[in-house]
Structure 1
Amino acid sequence: MIRSILFAFLLIIPIAEIVVFLTVGSVIGVLPTIAIIILTAVLGAILLKRQGLSAFARLQADASAGRVPAAAIGQAITVAIAGILLLTPGFITDTVGFLLFIPAVRSWLWKQIAGSVRIHGAGTGGPGADAGGPAGHPYRPGKPQVIDLEATEVKPDPSTPWRNDA
């Protein structure tokens, strides 16, 4: 299903871009059309640098404050996609790219998809840990789960290269 949707986008978007190129080129001329495409690519690079650095700073601030930087990651990914769309020649991709650089549009988009995104903290026991940690225990930074075993409870593997028999 996803592959067929992706295939359709990869087929439909270039065809639509060609149609828009031909339409705009016939109205304003070839050189102005090319100039607009180059100008939007330059503007996209400038916006990507400025807003990309800002998104990275938010991501670092959230991480250093001990918060899961989910919204900052979403914002950074959206800014990166916007930059790629603006660097791609085309009026449709430029329009979508410029829209994604608007913070209100990014926030709205994040609210639309945030309900379907699931965040797991590092070291939380993997995908089976629903409450954020192993066996349903909440994730607590700085308090790792400790498993204490006696030497009699563990049998070493004789084939391991890490044996210390020397």
Structure 2
Amino acid sequence: MSSQHRRMSALIFSGVVAGIGGAIVVAAPIATATPVECRAPGASTAGNVTDTSECSATSTNGSAAAAFGVDGSATSAAGPQALALAIAMSGGTAMSQAQNLSGPAAIAIGPGATVDLTGVRPGLTLGIATNGATVTVDGVGTPTCTGGPAFAGDFQTLQGCLSLR
């Protein structure tokens, strides 16, 4: 890959990340729901439910999982030697499953936003979906982003997707 192509790719990636960050700030309404958090370091399980928010996290020895819900549903599970993170806000659903030195981070913000990430081999994965969007990463095939503003970057497969609808 030429140095000009690398610079252009870096600029595009930076712009996408900045745009998604701005969309998150704009899409996140003032939270009136009771936030919940679930942290599962080492071999442990955590769960928490309120009238509008829920989370669950499960991990094995040598791993950690965390899930946070603010008027949303977040679930994370970390198998051997892995990290899993799920964050759901304002009606979103985030799911993150990890194993084998992977580190998926699922962020779903807004009504109908769904992110489902699976880490199966070494590498980080980031998936962000806003109102009505769906992001899916299985760690083997090409990530998919549909239905609205969404982004995924998968360093397990060195692939990603972007939806701006």
Asked which structure has the greater RCO (Cα within 8 Å, sep 6+), the reply is 1
More helix by percentage: 1
Give the TM-score, by structure 1 length.
0.30
Give the TM-score, by structure 2 length.
0.31
More strand by percentage: 2
